[in-house]
Amino acid sequence: MATGITVGEDGVARCFWCVGDAGYRAYHDGEWGIPLADDQQLFEKICLEGFQAGLSWLTILRKREAFRRAFAGFEIEKVARFDARRVARLLGDPGIVRHRAKIESAIHNAKRTLEIVDEAGSLAAFLWRFEPGPKERPRRMTRAAIVKLTETPASRALSRELRARGFRFVGPTTLYALMQSVGLVNDHLEGCDARPRAEGARRVFTKP
């Protein structure tokens, strides 16, 4: 068995990081690394990755439905219209991460996202410009390789561009986690049962 791969009681080989929680395994198996082109879903991921800063992703996953209720399903135009009264309500919502700067950044980033949509046609079209080429990727996705991938030239370039456009909580490490999540890269380890699924989804994916 390859290093970094764990076989569960169900006989499924998975990446080491998702063991120990059924919700984490489901996220790993069915979502992480699958390419996305839906702007609402992409905006949700940007927001959630921002809220995750300093916390574990599992904490965010467990609060995800509460975040969706609190942020109008992450409909970009609705979030962009949130006002100070809505911020106060969010700060009182125990189901989400009650961090004023992160809450306000999600609203601010919604406004900036609408500007990107006006310019690029969609958030998806903009983000997929930053997909790294094969030469930028490890030859084999091993545990040793993925541990080094906290940020990359592509995630740094995306971070610079978003910061220049006024986005907040979009550092290169946060954005590399986003790229992993939404399928701009396939970081499932060699030997993980989900890796060929994610790679197959990438092959048939039509870039926006």
Catalytic-role residue among 24, 49, 128, 176 = 49
Instruction: Please list the residues that pair with 206 across neighbouring strands.
Output: none
Catalytic-role residue among 57, 151, 161, 190 = 57
Tokens of 30: 């069915």
Residue whose C-alpha is closest to residue 4's, from 129, 12, 52, 13: 13
Tell me whether residue 57 is one of the annotated catalytic residues.
Answer: yes
Residues 6+ apart with CB under 8 A from 14: 5, 6, 7, 8, 25, 28, 29, 192, 193, 194
Q: How far apart are CA 138 and CA 187, in angstroms?
A: 10
Task: Give the position of tokens 């992480």.
Answer: 32
Catalytic-role residue among 17, 27, 75, 190 = 27
Tell me whether residue 176 is one of the annotated catalytic residues.
Answer: no
CA distances from 106 to 52, 136, 162, 173 (A): 12, 30, 13, 17
Tell me whether residue 27 is one of the annotated catalytic residues.
Answer: yes
3-state helix, strand, coil in the chain (%, to 5): 60, 5, 35
Instruction: Please list the residues that pair with 15 across neighbouring strands.
Output: 5
Which residues of 78-208 form beta strands (DSSP E)? none
Provide the annotated active-site residues: 27, 49, 57
